Amino acid sequence: QQPVQSPQAVILREGEDAVINCSSSKALYSVHWYRQKHGEAPVFLMILLKGGEQKGHEKISASFNEKKQQSSLYLTASQLSYSGTYFCGTGSNDYKLSFGAGTTVTVRA
Amino acid sequence: DAMVIQNPRYQVTQFGKPVTLSCSQTLNHNVMYWYQQKSSQAPKLLFHYYDKDFNNEADTPDNFQSRRPNTSFCFLDIRSPGLGDAAMYLCATSALTSGRGETQYFGPGTRLLVL
């Protein structure tokens, strides 16, 4: 079952912060975050495994609350290069991912 | 560099004319996936191979077939493309280690146009 992402779209000015949420009705073992630029393939950002961990890469971080079956991606001090569509992919007890519908992030100068 | 390669990057075909898309990987991953992605939508899993075992999604049309002759290569065959099959086709791979939704690495995709 497809996870639900919110918001659908967000517009930021450089330096602003944003949060993207991903929730599932199924028990999750992992959450994967990808960013896709227009016309390109999704690029892996990070994976969060069951255990409520938090990860970060430069100014992009994420958290995973397994009890609530939710994950959030935090964009801090956004840069122009952060523009794109962010997808969460949720993993259960197999090796397939279910992708959310995506959140389009536009960062303006 | 280890990677996932897709050819061609752009494919134009005629309505009803069979087309084959290819994917190769140097990651030596045992799982390969084919996704269809339409504009502004999430990637939709068509099928995947775990080694040589083929797994079809329940809602994948019969018009779509796949072959995996060896670990490195996987093909997507569309037997009679319709206008609704125009999309980006993404190949991805993963190394099955724990079975908990492994990280998938995507190729650059093939954009298919059906005339």
The DSSP secondary structure of B56-99, one letter per residue, reads E-TT--TTEEEE-SSSSEEEEEESS--GGG-EEEEEEEE--SSS
CB pairs below 8 Å between A and B: how many? Answer: 64
Give the residue with greater pLDDT, A14 vs A28.
A14
pLDDT tens track for A32-42: 999 999 888 88
Cβ–Cβ of A2/B50 closer than 8 Å?
Answer: no
Give the closest of B42, B109, B111 to A2, CB-based.
Answer: B42
Task: Please compute the mean of the pLDDT values over residues A15-34 and round it to a whole number.
Answer: 92
Cα distances (angstroms) measured from residue B101 to each of A4, A50, B75, B98, B113: 17, 11, 23, 8, 31
Please report which confidence band the pLDDT of residue B2 belongs to, taking 50, 70 and 90 as the band edges.
Answer: low
Query: What is the spatial distance between Cα A19 and Cα A78, in angstroms, rounded to a whole number?
Result: 11
Q: Which of A29, A43, A89 lies at the smallest CB-CB distance from B100?
A: A29
Chosen for mutation from A24, A40, A95 (greatest number of chain B CBs closer than 10 Å) is A95
pLDDT on residue B15: 96
pLDDT tens digits along B9-59: 999 999 999 999 999 999 999 999 999 999 888 899 999 999 999 999 989
> Looking at residue B14, what is its pLDDT?
96
Question: What pLDDT is recorded for position A109?
Answer: 94
The pLDDT tens digits of the residues spanning B81-107 come to 999 999 999 999 998 766 555 788 999
Q: Is the pLDDT assigned to residue A46 strictly greater than 80?
A: yes
Alpha carbon B7 to chain centroid distance? 11
Yes or no, beta carbons of B42 and A91 under 8 Å apart: no
Nearest CA in chain A to B105: A44
Interface of A with B in 29-48 (CB under 8 A): 29-30, 32, 34, 39-44, 47
Q: Which two tokens stand for residue A64?
A: 């995973």
A10 CA: distance to closest CA in chain B (Å):
15
Is A8 within 8 Å of chain B by CB?
A: no
pLDDT tens digits along A66-106: 888 899 999 999 999 999 999 999 987 677 888 999 999 99
